Structure 1
Amino acid sequence: MVKLNAATLDSLKSTLSVPNYDPQTLTTGIVHFGVGGFHRSHEAMYLDRLLNAGQGAGWAICGVGVLAGDAQMRDVFAAQDNLYTLLTKSPDGHTEARIIGSIHEFLFAPDDPEAVLEKLADPSTRIVSLTVTEGGYSVSNTTGAFDPSGADLQHDLNTPGPPRTVFGFLTEGLRRRRDRGMLPFTVVSCDNMQGNGHVAQHALTSFARLKDAALGEWIAAQVAFPNSMVDRITPVTTDAVRHDIQAEYGLEDAWPVLAESFTQWVLEDHFTAGRPQLETVGVQVVQDVEPYELMKLRLLNASHQAMSYLGLLAGYRYVHEVCQNGLLVEFLLGYMAREAVPTLRPVPGIDLSAYSHQLIERFGSEAIQDTLERLIFDSSERIPKFLLPVVREQLSAGREIGHAALVLASWSLYAAQAVPGGRFPVLPDVRSALLSDAAGREAIQPGAFLEIEEVFGDLGQNERFRAAYLSALESLRLRGPLSAVQALADQTRTDQTRTDQTQTDQTRTDQTPTDQTPTDQNVGVS
């Protein structure tokens, strides 16, 4: 068994792909906050491609961890010289493994916050990227306002000394660059949010203005925040993944990454101090990201939420199990075609129907072993960003909301049972107690779940939406998850038949000749 580190790279060449560059000779061009599995399967992988192509030696990544849990990543990277294995699997089971060396250093901020600040202020650092989760920006889902009330944010705003938060580090790093007469770095959000660059800009400038008004204005005027769309299904690393790598490649890697073979990154071409030539390694660098990001958020991410609670209520554990049930596949495709797609703009080069079916194929990959439990993490941050915008637009246009209503009802029914001693584990959600309490009151206070203002805002007061939600919840209670899905499918087909018949009748009416004949119409014409 070979332990992964710089000294063993040469011995691994015969069994899997290794960097054809020397990771230890690279220079940091990108600092990344939030070095989890997704970053390592996505952005770091694209930089590795660039480096293997003989480009980008000045664009290596310095990872930064600010949370206590990031200490484990620090220790693994130290033992493995910042190397790790990326294992990808396609839906047909084809597997590829490669060693990634593009993260050439890692800083654990609590150990040495000054080192992080000086790395941000270093002239070689030209981009700072983020995967800090949808809730990590402290922006209200309902008002859009920045919320600085968190204890660590308050510490960084009001206490002298080293920062604790991402925004504290970014603000101080930019202050040092301004004071030293340097160009600011570009901030690239890689989190799943509509207009993630705009959200990052709003959060950072709001924080900076509270800390130092003049600095906040300078950041707003000088720093670029490109939007991006990121896509690669990356489940949590398990011991089974580590074992597979040991068995197949004779390699001991303490923290490998498993991901699907599909990957996509659409990036707005808006940078303050240059960027790597990512378009040469498969990144779509464009002027307008919005059509791509809305497609992904409302089709892929919302579908993940759509399948999760219904799947869990039905007794499933894995994503691929849901996609082996034809009824649930029909439900997901129905949501996409009838409710999500009507809210989307045309996406250059993409057939949305084909994309939707491709998603089902990706979801159905048994090789990935993606869990439904992973998908429901912080749904109270995700559903308002992925699914509720679809509901709002459909309501505004007078179109269907039945599929979305059933998704939200399944979330509520699950939350009511996700309590200590209940059928399901406590929700992995920052608002778990609030969600379960409101869901538990539904029996005596119908619609209580919709009155969680932090999640639904004023949407819960919409009469048509409330009626659809309460009807879906009653169907779930009476029929169970799969029969409720079947009932919705039957009703949808009935409604479609009626619509088709109405259109046919209208067409016939429009084509019926009037009482006047052509001869009659010509009377009196000379």
Structure 2
Amino acid sequence: MTDLSLLSRARLADLRGHLLSPDWREPEIGIVHLGIGNFHRAHHALYTEEAMLAQPGDWGICGVTLQGDVSKRDALMGQDGLYSVVERGPAGVRVTVARALREVLAMPFDRARLFQLLADERVRIVSLTVTEKGYCRDAQTGDADFSHPGMVRDLAHSNEPSTVPGILTAALRARRDAGTPPFTVLSCDNLSHNGAALRQVVFSYASRLDEGLAAWIAKHVAFPSTMVDRIVPATTDADREAAHAALGLADAVPVPCEPFRQWVIEDRFPAGRPAWETAGAQLVGDVEPFEIAKLRMLNATHSTLAYLSMLAGFETISDAISYAPLKAMIHAMMTHEIAPTLNVPTSFDLLAYRDALLERYSNTALKHRCAQIAMDGSQKMPPRIFSTIEARLAAGQSIERLALAVAAWFVFLRGRSDSGEQYTISDPLADRLTQIAGNADTSERLIDGMLALRELFPESLARSAALRHALARSLEALRGGARQAINSYALLD
């Protein structure tokens, strides 16, 4: 029996003011999404619902959690797949009930149902938001990381995969063997050239299993790239309270987000797609300029703010950017060190984009925690910051503020703020990183230890005297505390 105190499809008639439109035809599942976290539910799922409202089609979503935890599946299915999006901005709070999610599965418990759907020709897109570490990718070669425990297991048990490359390869093999056209694989993660990167991982993994299958994937399967943007923090009790106050119903899994959103998609979908352009998505031939601009302008400065804030004691991004010297430093970093590395269409105003980012960071209603952004630095820093440093050094240009961001990450890995408050390092390489950071008794040894990690720093960067000197200056500045370092770097020409 449906609990009428909970958000459910039986109560939708009472929630007309919180729906994108009262007109709705329940769609069949046409998209399987791997990694059903907050970002997907506040971004891709909403775009898809709006697209179906504009141009009806069977693009309902089956979301899959890959973490071995059934709690999210049970919470969402207990609400018939419904959840609320709590949009927080300067104008106040807006609560919208999303309906595009039709089913939720949890691996490995629902493996049979997942592969049943992946074999169904009505499923024409498999999309992903699994974060960088979910790709099991060797950062140096771009191939699958065959030393990854999940990859080792999947190679030995390819019919019962647990990793993203393993799941995709097994599903595509089943389609090939059945003569069913393949689905399109759509990466929505913050990974440079995400479609091409995922294609290489899957191809290299498939090649280890079956060269013929790999050749079939290379010829028939599309991996379009995307650029996604929306700030989506972790859900808090305050978000649950806001949803309940607006709806008069309990929602165990609301999603907070900012008003802004953006989605740029390479338009390559042989099996069809929702009319996402009707919801404001940009369908383009080449995503790369938009993707690199976002990675370097937004994601790089987000990481910079996060690591400096963890040392200085700022809890949220809005707290950090309200500190005038830090805002000035980030403004200068984007203007003088990042923007000159970008090659974007003439219609893309980088300085206006910079100003919009600073305004978004100032959104006090969002409470985007720096600790959340600081997670998984080993996966985030190379595409966000190291690539920009390489571009600057190749052009013979200064990297002082970028180096401060890297140095702040090095110091952050010691696990304590300037005031002595301790925190946990959440990172796939946490053991190695914290050992290097904790054992280095001088700045020189810290730099040597970190730059020796080839999965993070290519040889060209590790041998760069300019980078080493800039890092040494940054670490010396941080010895006086992050706030003092920020103050001095804000004044750089």
In structure 2, what is the equivalent of residue 515 of structure 1? none
In structure 1, what is the equivalent of residue 59 of structure 2? 59
Q: CA deviation at 1:400?
A: 1.3
How many residue pairs get aligned? The number is 485
In structure 1, what is the equivalent of residue 30 of structure 2? 29
Would you say 1:475 and 2:462 are equivalent positions? no
Q: CA deviation at 1:140?
A: 2.4
Equivalences for 1:317-332 in 2 at 5 Å? 317-332=315-330
In structure 1, what is the equivalent of residue 86 of structure 2? 87
SS in 2 for 1:88: strand
Q: CA deviation at 1:442?
A: 3.3
SS in 1 for 2:414: helix
CA contact (8 A) 2:145 2:151 kept: no
Q: CA deviation at 1:210?
A: 1.1
Would you say 1:402 and 2:400 are equivalent positions? yes
CA contact (8 A) 1:418 1:436 kept: no
In structure 2, what is the equivalent of residue 9 of structure 1? 12
Q: CA deviation at 1:457?
A: 2.7
Alpha-carbon distance between aligned partners in 1 of 2:318 and 2:27, rounded to the nearest angstrom = 40
Alpha-carbon distance between aligned partners in 2 of 1:100 and 1:489, rounded to the nearest angstrom = 43
In structure 1, what is the equivalent of residue 489 of structure 2? 488
SS in 2 for 1:262: coil
Q: CA deviation at 1:411?
A: 1.1
Alpha-carbon distance between aligned partners in 2 of 1:436 and 1:368, rounded to the nearest angstrom = 30
> 1:295-318 CA distances to partner (integer Å, 9 max, x unpaired)?
100000001111111112111111
Equivalences for 1:177-192 in 2 at 5 Å? 177-192=175-190
Alpha-carbon distance between aligned partners in 1 of 2:165 and 2:490, rounded to the nearest angstrom = 46
CA contact (8 A) 1:418 1:427 kept: no
> 1:360-411 CA distances to partner (integer Å, 9 max, x unpaired)?
1001101101000010110110001110000001001001100011111111
Alpha-carbon distance between aligned partners in 2 of 1:465 and 1:196, rounded to the nearest angstrom = 27
- Tell which structure's C-alpha radius of gyration is larger: 1
Equivalences for 1:87-106 in 2 at 5 Å? 87-90=86-89, 92-106=90-104
CA contact (8 A) 1:438 1:452 kept: no
In structure 1, what is the equivalent of residue 75 of structure 2? 76
In structure 2, what is the equivalent of residue 294 of structure 1? 292
Equivalences for 1:495-514 in 2 at 5 Å? none
Does the C-alpha gap of structure 1 residues 449 and 172 become closer, same or farther in structure 2, counting only changes over 3 Å? closer
In structure 2, what is the equivalent of residue 206 of structure 1? 204
Q: CA deviation at 1:107?
A: 2.2
Moved more, 324-333 or 454-463: 454-463
Would you say 1:465 and 2:464 are equivalent positions? no
CA contact (8 A) 1:113 1:163 kept: no
Q: Which amino acid aligns with 1:466?
A: R
Q: CA deviation at 1:249?
A: 3.0
**Which runs of 5 or more structure 1 residues have no equivalent in the other structure?**
494-526
Quote the RMSD (CA, aligned, Å). Answer: 1.8
Aligned partner (choices 405, 428, 431) of residue 430 of structure 1: 428
Alpha-carbon distance between aligned partners in 1 of 2:451 and 2:202, rounded to the nearest angstrom = 30
Q: Which amino acid aligns with 1:34?
A: G
In structure 1, what is the equivalent of residue 47 of structure 2? 46
In structure 2, what is the equivalent of residue 352 of structure 1? 350
Q: CA deviation at 1:255?
A: 0.2
Alpha-carbon distance between aligned partners in 2 of 1:94 and 1:17, rounded to the nearest angstrom = 18
Alpha-carbon distance between aligned partners in 1 of 2:113 and 2:91, rounded to the nearest angstrom = 43
Does the C-alpha gap of structure 1 residues 288 and 356 become closer, same or farther in structure 2, counting only changes over 3 Å? same
Q: CA deviation at 1:86?
A: 0.8
SS in 2 for 1:456: coil
Aligned partner (choices 406, 413, 416) of residue 414 of structure 2: 416
> 1:478-499 CA distances to partner (integer Å, 9 max, x unpaired)?
x321221222233x23xxxxxx
In structure 2, what is the equivalent of residue 454 of structure 1? 455
In structure 2, what is the equivalent of residue 497 of structure 1? none
Does the C-alpha gap of structure 1 residues 116 and 348 become closer, same or farther in structure 2, counting only changes over 3 Å? farther
Alpha-carbon distance between aligned partners in 1 of 2:92 and 2:296, rounded to the nearest angstrom = 29
Q: CA deviation at 1:166?
A: 2.2
Alpha-carbon distance between aligned partners in 1 of 2:127 and 2:469, rounded to the nearest angstrom = 42
Q: CA deviation at 1:348?
A: 4.7
Q: Which amino acid aligns with 1:52?
A: L
Alpha-carbon distance between aligned partners in 2 of 1:142 and 1:292, rounded to the nearest angstrom = 24
Q: CA deviation at 1:39?
A: 0.2
> 1:291-339 CA distances to partner (integer Å, 9 max, x unpaired)?
1001100000001111111112111111100111111011111111111
CA contact (8 A) 1:377 1:428 kept: yes
Q: CA deviation at 1:22?
A: 4.6
Q: CA deviation at 1:150?
A: 2.2
Equivalences for 1:29-428 in 2 at 5 Å? 29-53=30-54, 55-69=55-69, 71-90=70-89, 92-159=90-157, 161-418=159-416, 423-428=421-426
Identity of aligned residues (%): 37
Alpha-carbon distance between aligned partners in 1 of 2:48 and 2:126, rounded to the nearest angstrom = 14
CA contact (8 A) 2:95 2:246 kept: no
